[in-house]
């Protein structure tokens, strides 16, 4: 079984976010980038298929040279090969189209992507890929088993979970639950050293066409000040809730 894991290069959630060029561009200075958490769950599940079923695992990313440390981390975790599509990730459709081209050229049986990236939270790429590839698709996937050409997947739905049976080729949008957080792999020194020798292939994009353009970014409004009320001052609490917060 050939598996392709799509890796997004995203800012660590603890990073301080700023914008440049009159709030029209993201400022990457001082920002630590990591593997998108939803993709990391998918990569860990792919590694399970490699260890238990002998699958081969490749990782792919759409982005410039600055994304290669993230791909190298995926190689250190245990992926066999990495592919970087040499173009900035401009919008969901453009990324899906480039990833689908890599998947098609490589004739992969299973394509694992995160259901969304934690930077733009678009949630579009896995479904678009499946449509382009004419492959089966399971989104919000929290469990996946493969037996030959057949797959059993569990996905989250409103109010519960749904179990599906389908066949390969398959695209999934994975998330937390696909593996346990305790199962996520941390690269060890041996893996880091081996990753330096593993192939990282750079391919040119099929197109540079984009359907969206970022006009500006805006930070969330700062949190309001917190007022501390003494525990025995019930009258002041009621007055503030009634006249200021207007919730009673």
Domain span at residue 32? 2-220
- The tally of domains found in the chain comes to 1
For range 145-161, the mean pLDDT: 95
Tokens 């970014």, residue?
217
- Dump pLDDT digits (tens) for 187-217: 888 888 888 889 999 999 998 778 888 889 8
Please say if the pLDDT value at position 222 is more than 90.
Answer: no
The CATH number that applies at residue 51 is 3.40.50.620
**Where does residue 118 rank: exposed (0-12), middle (13-18), buried (19+ CB within 10 A)?**
middle
Q: Where are the alpha helices (DSSP H) in the chain?
A: 37-53, 68-77, 92-106, 125-133, 189-195, 234-239
Q: Is residue 114 part of a domain?
A: yes
- Dump pLDDT digits (tens) for 80-112: 999 999 999 989 999 999 999 999 999 999 999
Predicted local distance difference test score (pLDDT) of residue 196: 86
Q: Is residue 247 part of a domain?
A: no
Contact 42, 153 (CB under 8 A): no
Q: Is residue 198 part of a domain?
A: yes
For range 215-224, the mean pLDDT: 84
Q: Is residue 10 part of a domain?
A: yes
Q: Is residue 239 part of a domain?
A: no
Q: Rounded distance, CA 174 to CA 93, Å? A: 18
For range 40-51, the mean pLDDT: 96
Contact 141, 161 (CB under 8 A): no
Q: Is residue 231 part of a domain?
A: no
Q: Is residue 248 part of a domain?
A: no
Q: Is residue 246 part of a domain?
A: no
**Percentage, residues of the chain above pLDDT 90:** 64
């Amino acid at each position: 079984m050939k598996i392709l894991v799509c890796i997004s290069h995203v800012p660590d959630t603890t990073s301080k976010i700023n914008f440049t060029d009159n709030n029209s561009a993201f400022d990457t200075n001082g920002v630590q980038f990591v593997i998108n958490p939803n993709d990391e769950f998918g990569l860990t599940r792919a590694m399970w298929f490699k260890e238990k079923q002998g699958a081969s695992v490749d990782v792919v990313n759409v982005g410039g040279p600055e994304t290669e440390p993230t791909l190298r981390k995926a190689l250190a975790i245990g992926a066999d090969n990495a592919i970087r599509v040499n173009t900035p990730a401009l919008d969901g459709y453009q990324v899906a189209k480039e990833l689908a081209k890599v998947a098609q050229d490589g004739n992969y049986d299973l394509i694992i992507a995160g259901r969304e990236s934690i930077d733009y939270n678009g949630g579009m790429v896995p479904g678009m890929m499946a449509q382009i590839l004419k492959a089966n698709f399971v989104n919000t996937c929290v469990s996946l088993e493969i037996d030959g050409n057949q797959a059993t997947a569990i996905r989250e739905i409103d109010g519960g979970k749904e179990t599906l049976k389908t066949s390969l080729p398959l695209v999934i949008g994975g998330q937390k639950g696909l593996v346990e957080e305790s199962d996520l792999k941390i690269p060890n020194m041996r893996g880091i050293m081996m990753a330096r020798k593993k192939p990282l292939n750079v391919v040119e994009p099929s197109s540079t066409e984009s359907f969206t353009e970022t006009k500006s970014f805006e930070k969330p409004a700062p949190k309001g000040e917190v007022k501390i009320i003494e525990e025995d001052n019930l009258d002041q609490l009621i007055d503030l809730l009634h006249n200021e917060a207007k919730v009673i």
